[in-house]
């Protein structure tokens, strides 16, 4: 099975490599304009904004950082899906051979099977001609335990001791069940009555508070981690990209022919499309790997949580890209960007840490639910609420609409800051100065 | 290709500092116009205002009589003082991209890029990243970025700074050729000798105000007379310091450059020089642009 996982990961890497080489070959083709490629189509349909976006897409996809980053994320996702599957496989059903001396009644046989299932053991019963033969087989390891005349269980050494082949849980359950059968006989129950009791089903157990769903929880947490890293990565691209255009002074040449909102819009659109493409590849890869290895992560509401995370990645990026673009326009050096990056990322960090905590506990409080409606934290908090079934569709829609409205307001504010700050050089521009004017 | 740029009543203040103070001038078609002034005079602010890169408190920039908007600016070419290109982008792709932003089709942008790279003798660097080029070649690429879309107006802020004589000649010739083809060319520079060679007209501003405007020819032939006198063995020109109505403009390599008031008779100057020694040179000269500049600012 391990070979299959390795083959999938290698195949994904090869596909990615081929795709990148083909796209690079297209870029080096006889027509520098890349007619027919989707960045070219974008340029044709969106004018200056499309041209700026097209340049961003080409430069990002061509960059080594993007290719290596995508590969690392794919490997991380594959590991997150495959490793738990391998781990659960190692503690799966254990084969237990049980020697039977003196026969076993049908009810007792059914109970031994039930004991095996309860302890995740695959039980195989073998008849022993005599007690001596059973002892010989026990010492040789041919059987793991022996049942003698339905009244006694014989082991080579104590089940809990190191080196014992017998599953202690199975031994304990079998001993209890055989005691029950013995009690049935003592109570002179008919076989039908005994069978009725033996095959009884447990009554349903219901809880007032929902318990945590381990599968959805794991899917949520993996998704939150990816959401966090992607938002940080894409927004850092924006921050550094805007700063570099300012520090290289190319922005003055560009703004001599395009409007600030066109330049900024093209940049966030281009990076956003690269981000969406990368995220789609990762989610598709996660679904394929999950299906291939039969991962629990994608069962139940797992795919819904993943789809939700993809949507909130888009909404989260749409909101934060303007914040980071405005921030980048106030800086013109790498150290200034580093100083800016931390305060800008605080809302993302708060939403991420809060969401991871709630996803683990499964109990969102009122504050968390409020955060699920605030554009800076909604991408994380709303995703967790979906995973926990704690939100109605209209609540989800309301949060998304608030986020869209917040994004529109932020875009207007950021464009204003950008226009005022991006041509001011000679030190970091203070936000107070930009807002005050 | 022709048009007239008009800068009308530009006013811009930064706090208590007045960068532009009711500045007006015109750049006619088919002329290279030098835009001169001391540091901080407002040249860069004016050029930025032409491209809408600075907010104005008052005034207007017009092209062929109409207010300039984004549509007009797409037909302008700009080379800012602080050069601006993507350092990590390939030269050819960068120029095509900028050409397309100015409205060229992909094929036209590619053809124009190739033509200009050939013309400026950097075609072999088409596939190089800008950051790997020498300063002079980066300057040529920057000029190409301003020219690639065949602009009707070229605004160049210090295009000749940092260039070697070969580079100055190459770029200078391109600018003259563009003007001859009908383009308006406005360039700022502190290298007045080169401005004198390249420009037919100059605009000199100080503290945001226009102080001198005219053709180079007019400005050089106007004003007080210039007289160059060389007296054998005399390097201090003490004889000239004593003459009434005469001031020493320059003293170099044994020759003194004198500025004469209108009342001064040049025969008196010659006699004074002959008394100091044997006169080996005595000639009238035109006013230099550097003198026009200095006199305008005093």
Question: What pLDDT, in 10s, does the model give residues A135-146?
Answer: 898 888 888 888
| pLDDT score at A107 | 76
| pLDDT score at A29 | 43
Give B12's pLDDT tier (boundaries 50, 70, 90): very high
Residue A19 has pLDDT above 70, yes or no: no
Min mean pLDDT across A16-20, A362-366, B58-62 is at: A16-20
Task: Give the residue from chain B lying closest to A263, CA to CA.
Answer: B101
Shared-domain flag, residues B230 and B125: no
* Inter-chain CB proximity B83 and A423 less than 8 Å: no
* Inter-chain CB proximity B102 and A257 less than 8 Å: yes
Distance from CA of A432 to the nearest CA of B (A): 16
Question: Reduced to 3 states, what is the DSSP secondary structure of residue A206?
Answer: coil
Q: Does B75 touch chain A (CB under 8 A)?
A: no
C-beta separation of A105 from A125 below 8 A:
no
Residue A94 has pLDDT above 80, yes or no: no
Task: Give the residue from chain A lying closest to B78, CA to CA.
Answer: A253
* Chain A to chain B Cβ contacts (< 8 Å): 76
Distance from CA of A417 to the nearest CA of B (A): 14
Shared-domain flag, residues B132 and B253: no
Task: Give the residue from chain A lying closest to B49, CA to CA.
Answer: A256
The DSSP letter of residue A210 is P
- Name residues whose C-beta falls within 8 Å of residue B208's C-beta, 6 or more positions apart in sequence: B12, B18, B19, B20, B21, B23, B41, B42, B45
Give A216's pLDDT tier (boundaries 50, 70, 90): low
Distance in angstroms (rounded) separating the CA atoms of residues B188 and B80: 10
| Percentage of chain B lying above the pLDDT 70 cut | 99
Q: Does B10 touch chain A (CB under 8 A)?
A: no
Give A57's pLDDT tier (boundaries 50, 70, 90): very high
The DSSP letter of residue A375 is T
Task: Read off the pLDDT of residues B194-229 as tens digits, 9 standing for 90 and up.
Answer: 888 899 999 999 999 999 899 988 888 887 888 999
| pLDDT score at A1 | 47
Residues in chain A: 437
Q: Does B12 touch chain A (CB under 8 A)?
A: no
3-state SS of chain B is: CCCCEEEEEEEEEECCEEEEEEEEEEECCCCEEEEECCCCCCHHHHHHHHCCCCCCCEEEEEECCEECCHHHHCCEEEECCCCCCCCCCEHHHHHHHHHHHCCCCHHHHHHHHHHHHHHCCCHHHCCCEHHHCCHHHHHHHHHHHHHCCCCCEEEEECCCCCCCHHHHHHHHHHHHHHHHCCCEEEEECCCHHHHHHHCCEEEEEECCEEEEEEEHHHHHHCCCEEEEEEECCCCCCHHHHCCCCEEEEEEECCEEEEEECCCCCHHHHHHHHHHHCCEEEEEEECCCHHHHHHHHHC
Min mean pLDDT across A425-434, B45-54, B87-96 is at: A425-434
- Name residues whose C-beta falls within 8 Å of residue A295's C-beta, 6 or more positions apart in sequence: A81, A82, A84, A85, A289
Task: Give the residue from chain B lying closest to A33, CA to CA.
Answer: B106
Min mean pLDDT across B66-80, B112-126, B232-246 is at: B232-246
Shared-domain flag, residues B166 and B216: yes
Distance from CA of B70 to the nearest CA of A (A): 7
Name beta bridge partners: B154.
B77, B185
As a whole number, the mean pLDDT across chain B is 89
Task: Read off the pLDDT of residues A368-379 as tens digits, 9 standing for 90 and up.
Answer: 999 999 999 999
User: How many domains does the structure of chain B reveal?
Assistant: 2
Q: Which among A33, A245, A256 has the least Cβ separation from residue B106?
A: A33
Which comes out higher in pLDDT, residue B96 or A363?
A: B96
Shared-domain flag, residues B214 and B232: no
C-beta separation of A289 from A82 below 8 A:
yes
The alpha carbon torsion through A256, A259, A264, A270 (nearest 10 deg) reads -90
String of DSSP letters for A129-181: SSHHHHHHHHHHTS-SEEEETTTEEE-SS-TTSTT--S-HHHHHHHHHHHHHH
- Tell me which of B73, B101, B129 to substitute to probe the interface with A (most A C-beta atoms closer than 10 Å): B101
Shared-domain flag, residues B211 and B230: no
Shared-domain flag, residues B156 and B292: no
Over residues B134-152, mean pLDDT: 91
Shared-domain flag, residues B68 and B179: yes
Shared-domain flag, residues B272 and B253: yes
Which comes out higher in pLDDT, residue B113 or B193?
A: B113
* Inter-chain CB proximity B82 and A249 less than 8 Å: yes
Residue A165 has pLDDT above 90, yes or no: no
Q: Which among B53, B92, B98 has the least Cβ separation from residue A32?
A: B92
Within 8 A of B88 by CB-CB distance, chain A residues are 59
| pLDDT score at A296 | 65
Shared-domain flag, residues B199 and B230: no
Within 8 A of A43 by CB-CB distance, chain B residues are 100
| pLDDT score at A36 | 46
Residue A221 has pLDDT above 90, yes or no: no
Residue A28 has pLDDT above 50, yes or no: no
Over residues A250-254, mean pLDDT: 91
Over residues A311-320, mean pLDDT: 92
As a whole number, the mean pLDDT across chain A is 80
Give A43's pLDDT tier (boundaries 50, 70, 90): low
Task: Read off the pLDDT of residues B17-32 as tens digits, 9 standing for 90 and up.
Answer: 899 999 999 999 999 9
Over residues A353-360, mean pLDDT: 88
- Tell me which of B40, B81, B86, B133 to substitute to probe the interface with A (most A C-beta atoms closer than 10 Å): B86
Shared-domain flag, residues B183 and B241: no
Question: Reduced to 3 states, what is the DSSP secondary structure of residue A99?
Answer: strand
| pLDDT score at A2 | 46
CATH number for position B264: 3.30.70.920
Which comes out higher in pLDDT, residue A412 or A34?
A: A412
| pLDDT score at A33 | 40
Distance in angstroms (rounded) separating the CA atoms of residues B119 and B281: 44
* Inter-chain CB proximity A55 and B96 less than 8 Å: no
Min mean pLDDT across A187-201, A362-376, B71-85 is at: A187-201
DSSP H or E stretch at residue A29: none
Min mean pLDDT across A29-33, A225-229, B98-102 is at: A29-33
Most confident of A177-181, A219-223, A265-269: A265-269
Indicate the CATH number for domain A95-191.
3.40.190.10
Give A55's pLDDT tier (boundaries 50, 70, 90): very high
Residue A15 has pLDDT above 70, yes or no: no
Residue B61 has pLDDT above 60, yes or no: yes
Distance in angstroms (rounded) separating the CA atoms of residues B235 and B117: 50
CATH number for position B52: 3.40.50.300
Distance in angstroms (rounded) separating the CA atoms of residues A428 and A87: 51
Q: Does B226 touch chain A (CB under 8 A)?
A: no
Q: Does B78 touch chain A (CB under 8 A)?
A: yes
Which comes out higher in pLDDT, residue A3 or B142?
A: B142
Distance in angstroms (rounded) separating the CA atoms of residues B46 and B12: 9
C-beta separation of B289 from B220 below 8 A:
yes
Give A12's pLDDT tier (boundaries 50, 70, 90): low
DSSP H or E stretch at residue A223: helix A214-247
Domain boundaries of chain A, sorted by first residue: 40-84+213-436, 95-191
Shared-domain flag, residues B58 and B163: yes
Distance from CA of A259 to the nearest CA of B (A): 8
Shared-domain flag, residues B209 and B127: yes
The DSSP letter of residue A295 is -
Q: Residue A159 phi/psi, 5° resolution? A: -60, -35
Distance from CA of B199 to the nearest CA of A (A): 24
Last residue of a domain, one of B200, B220, B240: B220
| pLDDT score at B185 | 94
Last residue of a domain, one of B170, B187, B220: B220
Min mean pLDDT across A12-16, B55-59, B206-210 is at: A12-16
Residue A215 has pLDDT above 70, yes or no: no
Task: Read off the pLDDT of residues B83-94 as tens digits, 9 standing for 90 and up.
Answer: 889 988 999 999
DSSP H or E stretch at residue A321: helix A302-329
| Percentage of chain A lying above the pLDDT 70 cut | 79
Domain range for B249: 223-297
Distance in angstroms (rounded) separating the CA atoms of residues B189 and B204: 11
Within 8 A of B82 by CB-CB distance, chain A residues are 249, 252, 425
- Name residues whose C-beta falls within 8 Å of residue A29's C-beta, 6 or more positions apart in sequence: none
């Amino acid at each position: 099975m391990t070979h299959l996982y390795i083959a999938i990961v290698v195949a994904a890497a090869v596909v990615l490599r081929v795709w990148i080489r083909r796209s690079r070959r297209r870029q080096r083709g006889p027509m520098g304009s890349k007619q027919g490629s989707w960045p070219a189509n974008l340029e044709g349909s969106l004018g200056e904004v499309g041209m700026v976006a097209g340049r961003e897409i080409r430069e990002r996809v061509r960059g080594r950082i993007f290719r290596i980053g995508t590969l690392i994320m794919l490997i991380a996702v594959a590991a997150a899906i495959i490793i738990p599957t391998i781990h659960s496989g190692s503690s799966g059903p254990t084969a237990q051979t049980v020697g039977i001396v003196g026969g076993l009644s049908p009810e007792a046989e059914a109970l031994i099977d039930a004991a095996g299932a309860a302890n995740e053991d695959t039980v195989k019963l073998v008849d022993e001609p005599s007690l001596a033969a059973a002892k010989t087989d026990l010492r040789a390891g041919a059987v793991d335990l022996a049942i003698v005349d339905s009244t006694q269980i014989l082991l080579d050494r104590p089940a809990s001791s190191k080196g014992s082949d017998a599953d202690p849980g199975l031994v304990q359950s079998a001993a209890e069940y055989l005691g029950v059968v013995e009690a049935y006989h003592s109570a002179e129950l008919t076989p039908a009555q005994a069978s009725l009791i033996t095959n009884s089903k447990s009554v349903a157990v219901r809880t007032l508070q929902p318990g945590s769903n381990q599968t959805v929880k794991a899917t949520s947490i993996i998704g939150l981690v990816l959401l966090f890293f992607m938002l940080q990565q894409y927004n850092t691209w924006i921050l550094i990209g805007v700063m570099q255009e300012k520090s290289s002074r190319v922005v003055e040449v560009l703004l001599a022919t395009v409007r600030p909102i066109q330049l900024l819009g093209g940049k966030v659109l281009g990076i956003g499309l690269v981000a969406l493409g990368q995220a789609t590849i990762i989610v598709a890869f996660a679904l394929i790997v999950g299906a291939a290895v039969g991962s629990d992560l994608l069962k139940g509401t797992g795919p819904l949580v993943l789809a939700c995370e993809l949507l909130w990645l888009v909404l989260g990026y749409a909101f934060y890209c303007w914040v980071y673009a405005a921030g980048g326009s106030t800086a013109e050096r790498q150290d200034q960007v580093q100083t800016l990056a931390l305060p800008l990322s605080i809302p993302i960090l708060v939403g991420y840490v809060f969401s991871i905590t709630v996803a683990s506990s499964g109990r969102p409080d009122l504050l968390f639910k409020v955060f699920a409606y605030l554009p800076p934290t909604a991408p994380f908090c709303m995703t967790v609420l979906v995973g926990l079934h704690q939100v109605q569709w209209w609540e989800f829609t309301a949060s998304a609409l608030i986020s869209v409205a917040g994004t529109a307001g932020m875009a207007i504010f950021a464009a204003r800051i950008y226009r005022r700050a991006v041509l001011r050089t000679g030190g970091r521009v203070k936000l107070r100065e930009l807002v005050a004017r | 290709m022709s048009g007239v740029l008009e800068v009308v009543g530009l006013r811009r203040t930064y706090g208590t500092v007045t960068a532009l103070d009711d500045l007006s001038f015109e750049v006619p078609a088919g002329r290279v116009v030098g835009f001169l002034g001391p540091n901080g005079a407002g040249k860069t602010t004016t050029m930025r205002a032409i491209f809408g890169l600075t907010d104005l408190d008052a005034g207007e920039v017009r092209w062929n009589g109409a207010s300039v908007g984004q549509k007009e600016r797409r037909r302008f070419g700009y080379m800012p003082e602080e050069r601006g290109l993507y350092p990590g982008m390939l030269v050819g792709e960068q120029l095509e991209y900028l050409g397309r932003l100015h409205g060229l089709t992909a094929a036209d942008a590619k053809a124009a890029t190739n033509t200009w790279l050939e013309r400026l003798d950097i075609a072999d660097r088409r596939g190089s990243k800008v950051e790997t080029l020498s300063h002079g070649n980066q300057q040529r690429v920057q000029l190409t970025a301003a020219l690639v879309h065949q602009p009707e107006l070229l605004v160049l802020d210090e295009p000749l700074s940092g260039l070697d004589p070969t580079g100055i000649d190459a770029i200078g010739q391109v600018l003259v050729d563009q003007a001859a083809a009908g383009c308006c060319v406005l360039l700022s520079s502190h290298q007045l000798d080169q401005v004198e060679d390249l420009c037919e007209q100059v605009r000199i501003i100080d503290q945001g105000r226009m102080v001198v405007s005219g053709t180079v020819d007019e400005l050089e032939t106007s004003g007080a007379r210039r007289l160059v006198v060389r007296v054998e063995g005399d390097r201090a020109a003490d004889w000239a310091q004593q003459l009434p109505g005469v001031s020493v403009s320059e003293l170099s390599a044994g020759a003194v450059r004198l500025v004469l008031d209108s009342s001064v008779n040049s025969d008196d100057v010659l006699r004074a020089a002959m008394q100091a020694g044997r006169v080996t040179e005595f000639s009238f000269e035109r006013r230099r642009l550097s003198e026009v500049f200095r006199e305008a600012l005093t």
